[in-house]
Structures are given as structure tokens and as C-alpha cells.
Amino acid sequence: MDSRNTIAPNPYVYPSKAYYDLEDTPVRWSVVDGGITSLDSIKARLQVSVALADSIGTRSGTDGVLEIFSHEEVCFGLRPDEQKTRWRERLDNAIREGALSFSIFGFPFKMPVPLKTHRISPDAAEVASLLRLYYLMERVSAVAGCDAALTIFAEDGFAPFVGLKDGEEKVYFSALSRLVEALGISSRVRLVRISDMETTPLFPSTFQTQRRSNLSAHENLDPDYLKRYEGASGPISRLIDTREASEETLAEVYSGKDDQLLSPAALAVRERLKRETPGVVASYFAYLQTRDVLDFPREIAPGSLPLTVSPKEGRLGVFPINRSVVVLPYHGVPVMGRDGKLSLEYLFDLKRTDTSYRAIYLDGDIEKRPFLYEI
């Protein structure tokens, strides 16, 4: 197995998959026009990758729900069936009341890193993840014998921290909302902007207080903060907007080369990332801390059971699409293999493969860039 497809859970942020050898930079791919297709056609092509096997959830009631979220094809990180005491009472009560509510955070925006993707709006990767979450709710509902629904808190509020420009996160959220409606999954999946909490009166002061505290903890080498910082700073530093640089320059920046071996252009970008990362991480943590202080999720989705793609205590860890896809939907580009299975790859990695791809475009897409690549 490709070692890049084996990632360990990180309780602070979704772990980063490594690029292929960034010192191997020649572009080898070829791309032909694969035509324009419908969303229904995209949905059909994704079924092999997103549908849940019949073997997932064979029991009923609480035991069945625990079985689903503990299945190796669903569970990322801690198995809830090994923590039954934590979950059984909550599940029993929800099922008794006739409705199961879940929540998850994610879907912020397409990452502003040219080596990862060149889109600003969702593509087949987001479609795959939305469908997987919908099918998960469908299976939970069938097993529990009551309605199950999911609230997705779209993390658009992180956009300023990584330098996103021109309201791209708003474009992304609007397009994502249209996909939810067009896919016909809104009965079980609803979208909420996490940035909506910024309108609450206590948000500005709470956020700034938390951010100052984080910066102070970093400066004073607080061991607890540094542990969290070390867990999050690597992946987060690779999300900061670097679209001003060429692919060749960025390949140097993210490579393992020592600073003294970098070109002046690459060194300048790397030094900027080093300078900016502490502030970005402090803001990222502060936003999450403010979310918890204000208890925003409970206000919007009271009683919901939390799902997560960054497994941690007290949350049900799930794979964003399936266990073989280790790149988040908004971090890469979707590729359909000859076997009909979806993978998510960094754009620059695709470009350096000696492979011919068909670029598939979505009918009515607001962005005239490929929605899916096929081999």
C-alpha cells in the first residue's frame, strides 16, 4: 500500500497526506476534453465509492448504531463500541424520543494552494462526501427505527486566517448549498455557516481574548499549548494562500530541502509561512475556543451527537468518504479510476504522472474548470 494513504488520527486537525517526491517536477500528464455531464451522471459514477455495504449495520436500535460507527469502513479513530458507556445513554434517549441528530464541522472552502487544487467552488469530491454522509444518515435511520439527520457546520470563518481573498468562501458555500438541494439530500443534511456565530454580541471580545491568550502561551512556551501547536501547525501552514508563487517555487517550499538550498523565491515564501503560521494557528484555535465558549453548535443543533474527521474524545470519528480516500474533499481534485473507484489527489501530483486524463465538466457549473478527472 502507498504509505501516503496511511494516516494516523490527529485530535487537532485532519492529518496531511504527503505530496509525491517534490524534487521530481516535470509535468508529464495529458488531459483531453471528456465533455459536459449532468449531476445525476456524476452521482451514478460515485456510487461504488460512497455507498455503504449491506454488512454495515445489521443489528437494530442502539447496538446497530454503535455497530455502524464502529465499522472499519466508517470509523476513523476511536471505536464507539469500545466506549459503550459514553454513547449508549445518549443514543437510547434519542431513539426513545424518535429522532437522532448529528453534527459535523468541515467544508470551509477550496484550499488556496496551487499544488492542491485550482478550483474555488465544490466539485465531485464534495459531492462524494455529501452523498456518503447522507447514506450514513439513511443507514442510521433504518437501523435505529427513527429519523436521523445531520447538521454540517461549514467552517467558512477560517477564511481570513489563511488569507483567502474576495469572498471565495461565500462562493463555495453558495455552490455547496445548491449541490445539497440538487442532490435531493436536504431531508437529512443541512448546512449552517459557522461564521453566523460572529453576529453574536460576545463573539468579538471572546475571540480576541482567546487569540491573545494563545499568542501569549506560544511566546511563553506553555507546554500544553505547544503540544497542540505541534499537532496542528504543520498541516495548517500548508493551507495558507500561496497562489502568488509558481508551481516550481512551491514544490521547493514544501519539499524537504534545507533553507540554504532553496532559490530566493522559494526561501521568501517559506520564510513568510514561518512568520505567519503562529498567528494563523492562534486564530484557528481561538475560533474553535470561541465556538465552544458561546456553545454555538448546541444553539443551532441542540442535542446533536458530534461527528468528526479529526478523531478526538467525545466525538464519533468518521472517514470523509471512505477509508481509502485520505485527502479531504476541499484539499485535492477527484479522480475516477478504471475500476470505477474514486481517489482524491493533489493536482500537482496528477500533473507529474505519465497518464492521460479526461476532464469532465458539470453542466451549469459556475466554474469552467474540470469537475472530475477520469483515467
CA distance 359 to 375: 9
CA distance 54 to 49: 14
pLDDT tens digits for the chain (375 residues)? 344 555 667 777 887 789 999 999 999 999 999 999 999 999 999 999 999 999 999 999 999 999 999 999 999 988 888 876 779 989 999 999 999 999 999 999 999 999 999 999 999 999 999 999 999 999 999 999 999 999 999 999 999 999 998 899 999 999 999 999 999 999 999 999 999 999 999 999 999 999 999 999 999 999 999 999 999 999 999 999 999 999 999 999 999 899 999 999 999 999 999 999 999 999 999 999 999 999 999 999 999 999 999 888 889 999 999 999 999 999 999 999 999 999 999 999 999 999 999 999 999 999 999 999 999
Half-sphere exposure of 8 (CA within 13 A, CB side): 2
CA distance 166 to 54: 44
pLDDT of residue 6: 59
Residue 13 three-state SS: coil
- Asked if residue 305 lies in contact with residue 62, where contact means CB atoms within 8 angstroms, the answer is no
- Asked if residue 282 lies in contact with residue 218, where contact means CB atoms within 8 angstroms, the answer is yes
Closest CA to 97 of 270, 305, 282, 240: 305
- Asked if residue 148 lies in contact with residue 141, where contact means CB atoms within 8 angstroms, the answer is yes
Strand partners, 152: 104, 191
CA distance 126 to 123: 6
pLDDT of residue 3: 42
**Cα distances (angstroms) measured from residue 28 to each of 331, 348, 352, 355:** 22, 10, 5, 7
C-alpha cell at 107: 467544508
Per the listing, cell 453576529 goes with 199
- Asked if residue 71 lies in contact with residue 119, where contact means CB atoms within 8 angstroms, the answer is no
**Cα distances (angstroms) measured from residue 251 to each of 108, 233, 245, 254, 373:** 24, 19, 10, 6, 22
pLDDT of residue 97: 92
Per the listing, cell 458507556 goes with 85
The structural domains of the chain, with segments of one domain joined by +, span 3-374
CA distance 318 to 136: 10
Closest CA to 136 of 70, 82, 60, 69: 69
Starting at the edge strand that comes first in sequence, how are the strands of the sheet with 356-362 ordered? 30-37, 356-362, 372-374, 333-336, 342-345
C-alpha cell at 146: 427513527
- Asked if residue 241 lies in contact with residue 165, where contact means CB atoms within 8 angstroms, the answer is yes
**Cα distances (angstroms) measured from residue 249 to each of 23, 233, 270, 351:** 11, 21, 10, 15
CA distance 155 to 120: 15
C-alpha cell at 290: 470561541
Half-sphere exposure of 189 (CA within 13 A, CB side): 25
